[in-house]
Chains A and B, each alone.
Chain A
Amino acid sequence: MGRFVARRIISLVPVLLGISLLTFVLIHLVPVDPAEVYLRLSQIPPTDEAVAVIRAEMGLNKPLHQQYFDWLWKVVHLDFGKSFVTKKPVMAELLYYFPATLNLAAASLLIVLLISIPVGVFSALYKDTAFDQICRILAFIGASMPSFWLSFVLIYILSLELNLLPAFGRGTLAHLVLPATTLALGAAAVYTRLLRTSMLENLNQNFVLYARARGLKEKLIVVRHVLKNALIPVVIAFGMTLGHMLAGSVIVENVFAWPGVGRYIVSSIFNRDYPVIQAYALFMAVVFVLLNLFADIICATLDPRIRLGGDK
């Protein structure tokens, strides 16, 4: 197990390098000169001299690979530069906003688990019953619902009409309910479908037939042979989902005025605050990669083929 984790971590190194290269290249996609943007945001008229000074300060005159290594060196030391707007270190800002987003994503993940596991399992076991049909239709609609629209519908009904829950801001647990639900419903729909399919697939496996032929009790077969196997693809996907939720919270945070990274990044985009955008990309990628690593480790504990390196 330890060897598996070590191998997995080592295999991350090239990926992380690739990520850093990509985020570095991103800033050079910018059709305008960052120095000019910096000056405009600092309310200094972008004269040629001023631009030249800032360019020198930012190191934009050095050769590209030199810039990359300088930047990488700083990044390794968690220095992402300073925001053009607030002039504060970007890392500190991101870390300031991140807990709120994490809070939101974790709450949604919990909702997703609570909905999708029982519903997925039972709709697979009672395939084609009324329960299954209804769940499938709901899952279908849930997966097609735009989250920004769903949030307005929820706000309108639960907050404005019924006055049950607060619609905007962060504070009490009640504040969490609407944004977390909005964020969760789409993913819950996807997971219910995924788990259902995975369960049905495993129910048709030869080892389930053999388990029945050995006279095992149906409950044991469902739990030990079907569900455990069915969970593996779901766990792999969960690592990704949490990442997608962190990203997907951009829209939800904007609707619910949730003070997280998502709101911060959108305002930064409008301000063309390039260091923040760049740091955001890198930061999210690293979080995402780590989440996937975590999911892989869980899978390895579940599946001996991964742990022990079997073929096929």
Chain B
Amino acid sequence: MLQEKVKGLYRNKPGIISFAVLAVIMLAGILAPVLAPNDPVLVTLDNRFAAPSTQFPFGTDHLGRCVLSRLMYGAIVSLGSALLVMTITITISIIIGTLSGYKGGWVDTLLMRMGDVNLAFPDLVLTLVIAGMLGPGLANIIIAMAAVQWVWYARIIRGMVLSLKERSYVLSAKVAGTPGWLIVVRHILPNIIPHVVVLVTINLGMVVLHISGLTFLGLGAQPPTPEWGAMLNDARQYLRSYPRLIMFPGTMIMLVVISFNLLGDALRDVIEFREG
């Protein structure tokens, strides 16, 4: 069964390609200290707006910093913080969502009421406001995003748990005398996690977009940290004369978001095949 799924994924071309793209970007970010041609934050005012050359493959920005190096270091900032947001979010929401769906009780009531309030705000507004209250900074953005998003995921997971709870195999396990925690571990979580993985993959793209958007507004990573949104913000003044400065980080963000979406779709096709 698992083998079939791996095979299915292997046959899914967009999935493979997008996975490869993400892997390359991620690797470039991790290995940036070794691979990057230049120091991403080294200001050389003599070299402002240098055209691409062997020393600066993508040229330099308004402070003479190497664009390629900044893109590479930026990968780890953008992708890494998105992954961190998701990890925090999902950990909290799996625990609370499962508890709330399986056990019910006050956890459930609290979660549902929090969800009502949370859903009354457009996501971005709440993130913006929390980040605004905490003050600019990448860490604050990460906290704000996780704080806003977990409720939504927890509610989705709760829904899945509720429907799984009524499946005959869960009832049969109960009748067979399996204790509650074991039912959750053995029958509920394994059936939820694949769907959560799909959800997370697709939404990772959105998280990358939001983080770079907030950084673009100046609320996220602070200069001189290389981050794609920040690079766009730096480049906006020079749009007329040096449009390439906009092209590089923008393309990177879009590439990452598209890849996450494609990968998520591919995973969904593979995982939800035969499960309906």
User: A interface vs B, CB < 8 Å?
Assistant: 14-16, 18-19, 21-23, 26-27, 29-32, 140-141, 143-149, 152-153, 155-156, 160, 240, 243-244, 246-248, 250-251, 254-255, 265-266, 268-270, 272, 274, 277-278, 280-281, 284-285, 288-289
Contacts and interface: CB of A to CB of B under 8 A. Distances in A.
A255 B126 CA distance: 21
A153 B262 CA distance: 23
10 contacts: A27-B133, A144-B205, A144-B254, A148-B229, A148-B232, A153-B246, A266-B219, A268-B132, A277-B132, A288-B120
Interface in B62-113: 113
A274 B133 CA distance: 7
Contact of A272 (B128, B135, B232): B135
Interface string B31-64: 0000000000000000000000000000000000
Interface string B213-224: 100111100000
B209 interface: yes
B243 A156 contact: yes
Q: How large is the interface on B (under 10, 10 to 19, 20 to 34, 35 or more residues)?
A: 35 or more
The interface centre, meaning the residue of B133, B209, B258 with most chain A CB atoms within 10 A of its CB, is: B133
Question: Nearest 7 pairs between A and B by C-beta?
Answer: A149-B250, A18-B117, A269-B132, A247-B122, A144-B257, A247-B124, A144-B258
A254 B124 CA distance: 15
Contact of B218 (A144, A155, A270, A277): A270
Nearest to A141: B258
Q: Is the interface of B mostly helix, strand, loop or mixed?
A: helix
B272 to A, nearest CB: 14
B130 A29 contact: yes
A146 B253 contact: yes
A99 B151 CA distance: 31
B202 to A, nearest CB: 10
B129 A26 contact: yes
Nearest to B114: A18
Contact of A29 (B124, B133, B250): B133
A146 B240 CA distance: 20
